[in-house]
């Protein structure tokens, strides 16, 4: 056999030597023969002969003998390891199913019960009954949402205290507005103050009048809440803001300069004063709010949706505190001319311009625009109690709906759905509501449709919830109106007073028949008040405020 044979014998002896070494029995003779075989790989060729055959047989015997202990050792090691694994093995336990609650009738829309959160997750029932998906909801404790701070600036008062005095004193802030470039005189809810002294010269170029109102009203609410630094809450503090027109006045002024004076571009900071979310951003910056800063633009319900969404975020545990509300400054030539084009604006009362807004009255002639801002500080109720905060009441219900019929005409069915949703979310019946602040803008069609919706839910007899519209005092603040009326409803609960509907001396329109509060405010204890708003686009929003003892 040639070189290949010698290579094979050499490899065999090398394997035998390695096996012997691993088994603890070194074979020096085999190792020596392996070395000799390696030396012969130089190319010499010779026959095996008898000696080589004997050596091959010996190598096979050595290999078998050397491998046997190793095989036995590996088998024993595998068995030992298997026993150890079995000894460590622990039976897996099946986790207990989470607690569930059976919902007989799923509540419509938005705010879930203040005591439970209804989740869409399906869980097998504890009693083993196979309940259809959708009838089972996870239940857990939800947090109550306390109102601990209020701020308001409007034609009815530049502070919350002034607003309450106007409500009790039947004071109207509606005045005649004359603007250069408009031939008409419009009645309007005018705030008779300039707020520029409250800001530095460096701040003013960034602030439209709308943002000035927003910043100052929010500042009132924050000071009233006495909560300390919002930065201490990190990302668990938020700003929820409602607005329609943004910094429209600033935009219109620069448009006039472009068209009349020939200026080709505005100043660099004008964009920051015009944008719709500028008010929310300014509030967040000044109060060091690092959580969500959100602007809603859903017409007249904008700030109401902002308050409802903020309350829901706190209730569901996403936030601990929020500044929520809205601002609007629509008393500019552009916005007035646009609304005048809708034929919805009121004509001035010939005897007294302050009586031009007449909600539900038989001689009503249209809405009166107003400017202003209103904000509330909402807080986890448990936290408010721990720090000894004054609590005006709780946001106990929130309903929101869309008519989905016409962008400019309200719909009774959509409004009814919104009102019932708010009641269901607060686990209240219509008979438990002690006061309703109606949207009632004094338009011919809108007041009738809203009255139909309120009658359908609350009734119209003397035992039903008393109803009034405070727009007769402050005008229609568009995106900020629902926030201002929420503040008024909160004051109604906290101060035990029902605001009146002013300027209906001619009598209530028979189509708007309800349990009206009347021309004078009533002193009465109110456990639950509902504030309702609706607007162009068909968005409806209802908020329920419950007394602090409820």
CA gyration radius, the chain: 40
Q: Where are the beta strands (DSSP E) in 73-215?
A: 100-102, 136-138, 145-154, 174-177, 186-189
Per the listing, tokens 């809450």 go with 233
Distance CA 385, CA 314 (A): 15
Sign (positive/negative) of CA torsion 26, 31, 33, 37? positive
In this structure, the number of other CB atoms found within 10 A of the CB of residue 441 comes to 26
Which residues carry out catalysis?
Answer: 300, 439, 476
- Are 112 and 398 in contact by the 8 Å Cβ rule? The answer is no
Residue 333, helix vs strand vs coil: helix
Distance CA 306, CA 17 (A): 85
Half-sphere exposure at residue 438, Cβ-oriented, CA atoms within 13 angstroms: 33
**CA torsion angle for 58, 59, 65, 71 (degrees, to 10)?**
-160
- Are 144 and 394 in contact by the 8 Å Cβ rule? The answer is yes
Distance CA 518, CA 507 (A): 10
Sign (positive/negative) of CA torsion 462, 464, 466, 468? negative
Per the listing, tokens 């030992």 go with 80
């Amino acid at each position: 056999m040639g070189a290949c044979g010698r290579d094979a014998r050499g490899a065999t002896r090398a394997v035998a030597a390695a096996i012997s070494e691993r088994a603890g029995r070194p074979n020096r003779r085999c190792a020596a023969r392996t070395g000799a075989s390696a030396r012969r790989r130089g190319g010499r060729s010779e026959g095996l002969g008898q000696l080589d055959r004997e050596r091959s047989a010996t190598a096979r015997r050595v290999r078998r003998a050397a491998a046997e202990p190793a095989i036995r050792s590996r088998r024993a090691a595998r068995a030992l390891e298997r026993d150890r694994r079995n000894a460590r093995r622990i039976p897996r336990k099946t986790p207990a199913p989470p607690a569930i609650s059976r919902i007989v009738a799923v509540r419509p829309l938005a705010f879930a019960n203040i005591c439970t959160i209804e989740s869409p997750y399906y869980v097998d029932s504890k009693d083993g009954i196979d309940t259809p998906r959708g009838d089972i909801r996870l239940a857990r404790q939800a947090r109550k949402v306390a109102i601990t701070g209020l701020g308001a600036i409007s034609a009815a008062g530049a502070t919350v205290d002034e607003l309450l005095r106007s409500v009790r004193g039947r004071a109207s802030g509606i005045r005649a507005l004359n603007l250069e470039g408009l031939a008409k005189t419009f009645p309007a809810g005018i705030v008779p103050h300039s707020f520029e002294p409250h800001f530095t010269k460096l701040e003013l170029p960034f602030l439209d009048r709308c943002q000035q109102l927003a910043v100052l009203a929010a500042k009132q609410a924050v000071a009233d809440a006495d909560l300390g630094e919002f930065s201490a809450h990190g990302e668990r503090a938020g700003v929820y803001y409602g607005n329609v027109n943004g910094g429209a006045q600033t935009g219109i002024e620069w448009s006039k300069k472009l068209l009349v004076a020939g200026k080709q571009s505005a100043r660099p900071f004008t964009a920051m004063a015009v944008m719709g979310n500028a008010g929310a951003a300014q509030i967040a910056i000044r109060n060091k709010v690092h959580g969500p800063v959100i602007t809603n633009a859903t017409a007249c319900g904008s700030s109401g949706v902002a308050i409802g969404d903020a309350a829901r975020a706190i209730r569901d545990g996403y936030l601990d505190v929020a500044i929520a509300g809205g601002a609007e400054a629509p008393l500019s030539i552009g916005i007035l001319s646009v609304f005048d084009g809708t034929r919805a604006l009121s004509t001035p009362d010939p005897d007294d311009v302050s009586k031009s807004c007449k909600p539900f009255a038989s001689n009503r002639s249209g809405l009166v625009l107003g400017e202003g801002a209103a904000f509330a500080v909402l807080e986890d109720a448990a936290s408010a109690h721990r720090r000894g905060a004054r609590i005006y009441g709780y946001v106990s219900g929130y309903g929101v709906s869309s008519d989905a019929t016409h962008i400019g005409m309200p719909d009774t069915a959509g409004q009814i759905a919104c009102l019932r949703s708010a009641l269901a979310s607060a686990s209240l019946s219509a008979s438990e509501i002690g006061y309703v602040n109606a949207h009632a803008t004094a338009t011919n069609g809108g007041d009738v449709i809203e009255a139909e919706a309120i009658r359908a839910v609350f009734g119209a007899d003397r035992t039903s919830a008393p109803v009034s519209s405070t727009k007769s005092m402050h005008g229609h603040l568009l995106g900020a109106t629902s926030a201002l009326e929420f503040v008024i409803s909160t004051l109604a609960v906290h101060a035990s007073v029902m605001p009146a509907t002013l300027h209906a001396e001619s009598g209530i329109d028979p189509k708007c028949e309800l349990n009206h509060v009347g021309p004078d405010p009533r002193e009465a204890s109110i456990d639950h008040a509902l504030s309702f708003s609706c607007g162009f686009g068909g968005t409806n929003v209802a908020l329920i405020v419950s007394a602090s003892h409820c």
